[in-house]
Amino acid sequence: MTLDLTVADAAPKTAKKTQSDAQTVTSVTHWTDKLFSFRVTRPASLRFRSGEFVMIGLPDDNGKPILRAYSIASPNWDDELEFYSIKVQDGPLTSRLQHIQPGDQIILRPKPVGTLVLDALLPGKRLWFLATGTGIAPFASLMRDPETYERYEQVVMMHTCRTADELAYGRELVGDLKNDPLLGELYGKDFASRLLYYPTTTREQSAQMGRITDNLNSGRIFQDLGLPPISPETDRAMICGSLAFNVDVKAVLEEFGLREGANSEPREFVVEKAFVGEGV
Ligand SMILES: Cc1cc2nc3c(=O)[nH]c(=O)nc-3n(C[C@H](O)[C@H](O)[C@H](O)COP(=O)(O)OP(=O)(O)OC[C@H]3O[C@@H](n4cnc5c(N)ncnc54)[C@H](O)[C@@H]3O)c2cc1C
Ligand SMILES: NC(=O)c1ccc[n+]([C@@H]2O[C@H](COP(=O)([O-])OP(=O)(O)OC[C@H]3O[C@@H](n4cnc5c(N)ncnc54)[C@H](OP(=O)(O)O)[C@@H]3O)[C@@H](O)[C@H]2O)c1
């Protein structure tokens, strides 16, 4: 599929600008019947901070763009852009997007934004990434960015899904990272102990179970990983999941004494929605 964006994206844009919004798919991986990841070419001019999101999409039957927010899952040094996506069967975008193949084109608006960036947090010792479902996407970017490890001694990735197969993308990514030549070169064998991974399921029996909120409240995560409880002196956090998840985790972190920050006012934690769904 090659996009004729000069038609699809009609006035007031110029042909030159609309051409730059078409990117070519280079690979696609289907993880489950509801989850897939894909890589596209990166516009030469696109600069972003790991953790930010952009608008991507496809044209509808009339050529009008269907655009949705997507976290860039690749780090900012990567030559290509990676995305990790849900497949919503009747979703306007993902009912189509799930069928893309290498060589196809997608629309990408090169205007990255977002709160899940290192600059929105105060310096600290340990950085917690707290995600459910596709909410791991911005952390897939940040976990692969050496700057994360320059700023924090230790990173803890907590990822929770309903079933074990939904953890596969994150599990493979963390496994690859622990063997990454660049990070190995920078941090030596020590790197494995700097990135702690705590995947759990909630609706299927697995090695580790339970909601992130429950594992934080009960102290189980600290016991399992041999860490002290979260404290505002040492710990920073980023949250990305459904609205209900974000609200509940925010309350837990506030109980530990952490305060929500933003790009304009860095503090101890930041939050972003992984999707706009039903309310709490
Ligand atoms: C800041 C931000 C970043 C996002 N980043 C990503 C990302 O990296 N990957 C991604 O897959 N989606 C992401 N989304 C969601 C994305 O924008 C779309 O909602 C999603 O692609 C579905 O599009 P759609 O048109 O098929 O269905 P929509 O009409 O957009 O959604 C239909 C319904 O599907 C459910 N839903 C939508 N997205 C998800 C999801 N990701 N996980 C679980 N349920 C969902 C919700 O209940 C929603 O009401 C992000 C959303 C926001 C606000
Ligand atoms: N009917 C189905 O089988 C089915 C399957 C997949 C998705 N969906 C729908 O698709 C949408 C997204 O599904 P999803 O699985 O990506 O996201 P989700 O429903 O938000 O669940 C993802 C994970 O987050 C946990 N979670 C949810 N709310 C939480 C909270 N407030 N605090 C802590 N943890 C929380 C869930 O635990 P729990 O399991 O304990 O809730 C689950 O492990 C939802 O609207 C969902 O209803 C339905």
Instruction: Answer yes or no: is 201 within a domain.
Output: yes
Q: Are residues 132 and 255 in the same domain?
A: yes
Q: Are residues 161 and 253 in the same domain?
A: yes
Q: Are residues 153 and 257 in the same domain?
A: yes
Q: What tokens were used for 94?
A: 């993902």
Instruction: Answer yes or no: is 278 within a domain.
Output: no
User: pTM of the prediction?
Assistant: 0.94
Instruction: Answer yes or no: is 193 within a domain.
Output: yes
Q: Are residues 98 and 161 in the same domain?
A: no
With a 6 A CB cut-off, is 275 part of the ligand 1 pocket? yes
Instruction: Answer yes or no: is 213 within a domain.
Output: yes
For ligand 2, mutation pick of 86, 89, 220, 242 (most atoms within 8 Å of CB): 242
Q: Hey, what amino acid is at 41?
A: T
For ligand 2, mutation pick of 130, 167, 211, 249 (most atoms within 8 Å of CB): 211
Ligand 1: distance of its center to the CA of 277 in Å?
A: 8
* Atom 31 of ligand 2, nearest CA residue: 245
Distance CA 231, CA 229 (A): 6
Q: Are residues 219 and 80 in the same domain?
A: no
- First and final C-alpha spacing in the chain: 39
Distance CA 210, CA 255 (A): 19
The closest-lying atom of ligand 1 relative to the alpha carbon of residue 71 is 8
Task: Indicate which ligand has the atom closest to the C-alpha of 165.
Answer: 2
Task: Indicate which ligand has the atom closest to the C-alpha of 158.
Answer: 2
pLDDT of residue 5: 53
pLDDT of residue 191: 84
Q: Are residues 124 and 230 in the same domain?
A: yes
Q: Are residues 265 and 151 in the same domain?
A: yes
Distance CA 204, CA 202 (A): 6
Strand stretches in 60-142, DSSP E: 65-71, 80-86, 105-113, 126-132
Q: Are residues 136 and 151 in the same domain?
A: yes
pLDDT of residue 3: 66
Distance CA 273, CA 239 (A): 8
With a 6 A CB cut-off, is 137 part of the ligand 1 pocket? yes
Q: Are residues 217 and 261 in the same domain?
A: yes
Of 67, 90, 112, the one marking the end of a domain is 112
Instruction: Answer yes or no: is 280 within a domain.
Output: no
**Residues in Cβ contact with 186 at an 8 Å cutoff, skipping those fewer than 6 apart:** 146, 149
Q: Are residues 236 and 167 in the same domain?
A: yes
pLDDT of residue 1: 63
pLDDT in tens, the chain (280 residues): 666 554 344 333 333 344 459 999 999 999 999 999 999 999 999 999 999 999 999 999 999 999 999 999 999 999 999 999 999 999 999 999 999 999 999 999 999 999 999 999 999 999 999 999 999 999 999 999 999 999 999 999 999 999 999 999 999 999 999 888 778 888 887 888 899 999 999 999 999 999 999 999 999 999 999 999 999 999 999 999 999 999 999 999 999 999 999 999 999 999 999 888 765 5
Distance CA 236, CA 256 (A): 11
Ligand 2: distance of its center to the CA of 128 in Å?
A: 20
CATH number at residue 239: 3.40.50.80
For ligand 2, mutation pick of 34, 132, 220 (most atoms within 8 Å of CB): 132
Instruction: Answer yes or no: is 279 within a domain.
Output: no
**Dihedral angle of Cα 36, 172, 129, 207, to the nearest 10 degrees:** 110
Q: What's the domain range around 217?
A: 118-273
* Atom 3 of ligand 2, nearest CA residue: 162
Instruction: Please give the tally of structural domains in the chain.
Output: 2
Instruction: Answer yes or no: is 257 within a domain.
Output: yes
CATH number at residue 20: 2.40.30.10
**Residues in Cβ contact with 184 at an 8 Å cutoff, skipping those fewer than 6 apart:** 191
Of 72, 89, 112, the one marking the end of a domain is 112
Q: Are residues 169 and 262 in the same domain?
A: yes
